[in-house]
Chains A and B, each alone.
Chain A
């Protein structure tokens, strides 16, 4: 499954481990915060920070890295206490759906996350709302719902650890994680 992807595409390993880490017990190092603060698309950050990955190499078609670069991002963001899929998110999810249509054996889990400005149990439920909203959009674009699992992490797995609005905005997200079928 993931092992083949990591041996076939060195680049995919660096970025792919961040995406697939939910299947492993050891979590990856935190990616650096996204540069954009306006809530527009942020590309999936490279976890090692080496600057020459995306430019110098070509992602193997059907790989995790290919999924991310083709879709623009594996992550869509949400407003405070919201699970509405806005236009920016629709554009990203639309591209994810197209990619998933090209690789029908790929199965994904959509993770729902919240910022920490909510109580623990409510945020587990809100994360579920976000993952469900993203899943439902993908399914409406033609992706078989049976290929899409969902999981909520509530506020437990932030990507940004600050207590300012820019950090909170990055944490309110749904992440599409490939769990099997990628090259």
Chain B
């Protein structure tokens, strides 16, 4: 499935100065109308994932859905299209047909079957009114990997029009939940960020919590109550192999990888005190980073690996602190009413997402690493556990509805606070973690 790398063909053209531009901070107010017609194919050739013609339809559908999900784009209804894209149109579009339906950008391309059984997906973006080409790129991969080619095309369009890197070619790992709250069954599950390719990773026999991707996305770290020994584990996605980390006598939990993948940072509890430790994976050397008092947990590395943000109740209630990766310089950064927990550093390094507790609610907020600029992005009964998209522009979290047996599900919100939407999952869901962009 995902095991073959995605090869980029060398068709990248230097873009002309883009006439249309999407303002990533306010683009959700007026999403850009775009047309994403079915991708063309010179002749319909069968592949292991269907004919190239069928793939052309599906690729366009995935791209349109990705762009729409960002809230910044409004793909027009294909029923309104007045033309279809023939192979020759891909490099020389009939702009008049797209102008009449007021599309501002045209995303088009082609799907070609390769001799080795794989496919090449050509991706082209145009400014409809100025008739200028904005971007082009080709993606060579297996036919079974066609979705990733579509996501990479959507990322190309997104980045050309917003000036930011995209986030569509990525995955989400989370905890799938079912059953009554008093007898909840939890399973690790993984899916593409658009919900496709959903797969359960554990069978629900053991309570599992808080999965997080390693930077190479081949493994996850998580917490499990297997054998009634609550501790951290590592799961290899390809093989399904699960391995407990260390042989610590006490409960370990809240694990995360360092950005270089070489260290695991986590909490361990001992006789009522919980501290943060880091484990060098190769040498198995354990270092203690906090030394009481109280509860120190939820550690998260900065993207450059030099700092760790975490929560501590040393001041009397949960608040957010930063420290150097060696444990020095522990500094409180959250203040004001209520408490703050579950901090997560943005991949861009500029912000920390967290859960603000107070006034009977849990709300998702962001704050700068220096503690300034706190903004709350959601306002419901119980929103918690944020995770960042790879480009640091979208925050995914889980929401619990009030009331007996209230549903728990995944929601995302744009950093501007707009475009709050639910991410559909087969069952209830919690503890999401977003992967980096896939290479």
Contacts and interface: CB of A to CB of B under 8 A. Distances in A.
Interface size class of B (residues with CB under 8 A): 35 or more
Given A118-B357, A136-B272, 15 more contacts: A27-B183, A28-B183, A81-B317, A119-B318, A120-B209, A120-B210, A120-B385, A120-B431, A122-B297, A122-B298, A124-B297, A129-B295, A133-B272, A161-B405, A162-B404
B253 A158 contact: no
B269 A125 contact: yes
A83 B205 CA distance: 30
Interface string B309-343: 00101000110000000000000000000000110
Interface in A148-181: 151-153, 156-163
30 contacts: A23-B228, A25-B205, A29-B183, A30-B182, A81-B317, A119-B355, A119-B362, A120-B209, A121-B267, A121-B311, A121-B342, A122-B311, A122-B318, A122-B341, A124-B230, A124-B254, A125-B269, A125-B297, A128-B251, A128-B272, A128-B274, A129-B272, A129-B295, A133-B272, A136-B271, A151-B228, A153-B225, A159-B182, A163-B403, A163-B404
A163 B181 CA distance: 11
Interface string B182-209: 1110000000000000000000011101
Contacts of A83: 272
Q: Which of A118, A119, A162 has most chain B Cβ within 10 Å? A: A119
A74 interface: no
Interface string A119-149: 1111011101100110010000000000000
Interface in A77-125: 81, 83, 109, 116, 118-122, 124-125
A132 B297 contact: no
A19 B62 CA distance: 50
Given A119-B362, A125-B269, A125-B274, A152 B230 contact: yes
A124 B253 contact: yes
B180 interface: yes
B400 interface: yes
A40 interface: no
A30 B180 contact: yes
Contacts of A132: 271-272
Contacts of A163: 381, 402-404, 406
Contacts of B254: 121, 124
A157 B182 contact: yes
A151 B430 CA distance: 22
Interface in B270-306: 271-272, 274, 295, 297-298
B356 to A, nearest CB: 11
B384 A120 contact: yes
A22 interface: yes
Nearest to B318: A122
B272 A161 contact: no
A158 B362 contact: no
Contacts of A161: 180-182, 404-405
B385 A158 contact: no
Which of A27, A116, A120 has most chain B Cβ within 10 Å?
A120
A124 B318 contact: no
B183 A121 contact: no
Interface string B162-188: 000000000000000000111110000
A118 B313 CA distance: 13
Nearest to A157: B182
B272 A119 contact: no
B357 A119 contact: yes
Interface in A3-41: 22-23, 25, 27-30
B183 A30 contact: yes
Contacts of B271: 132, 136
Contacts of B431: 120
Interface in B34-71: none
Most-contacted residue by chain B among A118, A136, A159 (CB, 10 A): A118
Interface string B379-414: 001101100000000000000101111100000000
A29 B180 CA distance: 10
Nearest to A149: B228
A120 to B, nearest CB: 6
A109 B227 CA distance: 14
Contacts of B228: 22-23, 109, 151
B269 A124 contact: yes
Contacts of A29: 183
A122 B206 CA distance: 21
Contacts of B298: 119, 121-122
A26 B341 CA distance: 32
Contacts of A116: 382, 400
Interface in A45-97: 81, 83
A31 B424 CA distance: 32
A160 B180 CA distance: 10
B184 A156 contact: yes
A117 B381 CA distance: 10
A109 B230 CA distance: 14
Contacts of B357: 118-119
Nearest to B295: A125
